[in-house]
A and B are shown apart, each in its own frame.
Chain A
């Protein structure tokens, strides 16, 4: 899979600088504070997981990073630049792609059209064809169903389509919101295999999951989010051994 962005070129970061950094992020819905000061960072090439139970604020965190929600306080930087006031479209162009929660594909568009919309910001047809080949190589099932309407795909296939669509923008940072949601265990394994391939191709990944086991198994570091705050963080392997986490999220 080729990931170098045709318009962006390779991202050059000084050694030791995170690709994404979130500092004391606060977000409220009306009067309700959903995030009460979240700090996190993702280094280039890392796969970072964020776990937490229902309503902890995981989706809110990802949506804020993708600039789909107004930020109350705090700062978000991407590749050293502050993006608090950047429009989502510009972020996509700069290299951040979000796979929204719950297989948000376009049901009445064909699989091909879904993918093409993903490359919406790229006017270069040749680059788009190449990316399409890469995505199909990653998810051969999509290749077999190019003319089928997105809504007629199975749940797992829809999730593949959502990830494939995000990859069409050739992101440097991929934000994944619960890729395992409502999908059969066998397909969950397949999807995480693909995520691993994407990571191996050099894409940095921040993945939100309620499936703690697989999230910790496929990431290098992880954050535990609890009612809008980071409760714990560390290397995934260590967190997987942590008694508290085993009790709360891994079923003992």
Chain B
């Protein structure tokens, strides 16, 4: 029984996810609430993957949004084109079984490739340098997609290839991603949203199981050992560079898959925009990991949900009453006070983080998991001999 526990859990989760694919729109009639649920699930994947590098490996990446962005764009381009080949129409559940796996695999592959390229040189460096490189990477991704424009714009990728070679073709391809306006599929009609609750919830479940197994496998143990003492870990045969690069690639893959889901999430947006994956997004991902507790899988899940909900709640608030309440006639004439409630979010995070630093410097759970006991103090029976 124990042996099959994970398999039974995963099978059960798949059944529930399938049921929800049908039931969620019935149970939750408000589209924005459905979107919140789905986005929270995607962000759990973001947090779980960043937790591998920032929590378990003890490195510090502040550019995770770059990988999410690459995953999102890969998935958007592929799903848009596949949808076109399939003849357009509705994004049905049956078709999603072709489109979603293909897109997520592609997102994972692209993110993995970039994770390797970024990770290999930078992980030989010490922590701060890695942070700077990851930040630079995410910014490059955002700016290149946001600003790429080539010549007349009418050129197809095939033409570009024959006239200007591979590099030119690549820039033409990037310039077709819509820049600041966002990418809306090959015909600009909006992206097909194939990933319903079934896909989002089952991929999230699989990510949770994978993260859990990773942490407690020999591999995860070696990775955590490496974080604590590099020389000692090397002395027992753990190859530091190989482990760091592998963990970085795994984190990138998770980020890419999360992005791939976000790009075609049902009830989500019909476009992907480079600004969705800006520094703020990377920072949100770090907050998710830190609030829950670096290194804790359940902590990353809690953090992912918490941050998504706060972000959304404040967005809602921004759009509705409060901004209007402050607007109005005044003795000194009419004025309009527009408050950027994003600042409020920063205040909430700051308060939560400061409270955590005081009460629990290691995050809500530290490195532990939900239900795991805090390791007790040393038994008092013997005096500590040092």
Same complex for A and B? Answer yes
Interface digits, B335-379 against A, CB 8 Å rule (1 contact, 0 not)?
000000000000000000000000000000001000000011111
- Asked whether, in the complex, the Cβ of A152 is within 8 Å of the Cβ of B375, the reply is yes
Cα A186 to Cα B384 in complex, Å, equals: 13
- Asked whether, in the complex, the Cβ of A147 is within 8 Å of the Cβ of B221, the reply is no
Q: Which residues of A contact B384 (CB under 8 A)?
A: 154
B319, CB-defined interface residue at 8 Å = no
B228, CB-defined interface residue at 8 Å = yes
Q: Which residue of A68, A147, A148, A168 is within 8 Å of B231 (Cβ)?
A: A68
- Asked whether, in the complex, the Cβ of B235 is within 8 Å of the Cβ of A97, the reply is yes
How many residues of chain A get a CB closer than 8 Å to chain B's CBs?
A: 46
Cα A183 to Cα B386 in complex, Å, equals: 5
B238, CB-defined interface residue at 8 Å = yes
Q: Which residues of A contact B376 (CB under 8 A)?
A: 148
Q: Count A/B pairs, Cβ under 8 Å.
A: 100
Shortest distance in angstroms between A189's beta carbon and chain B's nearest beta carbon? 12
Q: A104-B231, A154-B386 are in contact. Are A165 and B236 (CB under 8 A)?
A: yes
- Asked whether, in the complex, the Cβ of A109 is within 8 Å of the Cβ of B375, the reply is no
- Asked whether, in the complex, the Cβ of B228 is within 8 Å of the Cβ of A156, the reply is no
How many residues of chain B get a CB closer than 8 Å to chain A's CBs?
A: 25
**CB-nearest residue of chain A to B381:** A144
Cα A165 to Cα B236 in complex, Å, equals: 8
Q: Which residues of B contact A100 (CB under 8 A)?
A: 229, 231-232, 235
- Asked whether, in the complex, the Cβ of A166 is within 8 Å of the Cβ of B375, the reply is no
Shortest distance in angstroms between B311's beta carbon and chain A's nearest beta carbon? 31
A107, CB-defined interface residue at 8 Å = yes
Identify which of A41-49, A110-118, A223-231 touches chain B.
Answer: A110-118
Shortest distance in angstroms between A175's beta carbon and chain B's nearest beta carbon? 9
Shortest distance in angstroms between A23's beta carbon and chain B's nearest beta carbon? 23
B325, CB-defined interface residue at 8 Å = no
Interface digits, A150-165 against B, CB 8 Å rule (1 contact, 0 not)?
0011111000001001
- Asked whether, in the complex, the Cβ of B222 is within 8 Å of the Cβ of A106, the reply is no
Cα A162 to Cα B237 in complex, Å, equals: 14
A200, CB-defined interface residue at 8 Å = no
Interface digits, A84-100 against B, CB 8 Å rule (1 contact, 0 not)?
00011101110001111
- Asked whether, in the complex, the Cβ of A105 is within 8 Å of the Cβ of B229, the reply is yes
Cα A149 to Cα B386 in complex, Å, equals: 16
A157-194 contacts to B, CB under 8 A, are 162, 165-166, 168-169, 182-184, 186-187
Q: Which residues of A contact B166 (CB under 8 A)?
A: none
B19, CB-defined interface residue at 8 Å = no
- Asked whether, in the complex, the Cβ of B386 is within 8 Å of the Cβ of A106, the reply is no
A112-163 contacts to B, CB under 8 A, are 113-114, 116-118, 120-121, 144-145, 147-149, 152-156, 162
Q: Which residue of B236, B367, B375 is within 8 Å of A120 (Cβ)?
A: B236
- Asked whether, in the complex, the Cβ of A149 is within 8 Å of the Cβ of B375, the reply is yes
Shortest distance in angstroms between A239's beta carbon and chain B's nearest beta carbon? 28
- Asked whether, in the complex, the Cβ of A117 is within 8 Å of the Cβ of B238, the reply is yes
B233, CB-defined interface residue at 8 Å = yes
A108, CB-defined interface residue at 8 Å = yes
Cα A186 to Cα B382 in complex, Å, equals: 14
**CB-nearest residue of chain B to A63:** B231
**CB-nearest residue of chain A to B377:** A152
B217-245 contacts to A, CB under 8 A, are 218, 221-222, 224-225, 228-229, 231-239
- Asked whether, in the complex, the Cβ of A117 is within 8 Å of the Cβ of B235, the reply is no
Q: Which 7 A-B pairs have the closest CB atoms?
A: A92-B237, A104-B232, A155-B386, A106-B228, A89-B237, A98-B235, A117-B225
Question: Can you identify 20 A-B contacts, CB atoms within 8 angstroms?
Answer: A68-B231, A99-B235, A100-B235, A104-B231, A104-B232, A104-B235, A108-B367, A113-B221, A113-B225, A117-B233, A117-B236, A117-B238, A145-B379, A148-B375, A152-B375, A152-B378, A153-B378, A155-B386, A165-B236, A183-B386
15 more A-B residue pairs beyond the given contacts A104-B229, A120-B237, with a C-beta to C-beta distance below 8 A:
A88-B234, A92-B236, A104-B232, A106-B224, A106-B228, A106-B232, A109-B221, A110-B375, A147-B375, A149-B375, A152-B375, A152-B377, A154-B384, A162-B232, A182-B386
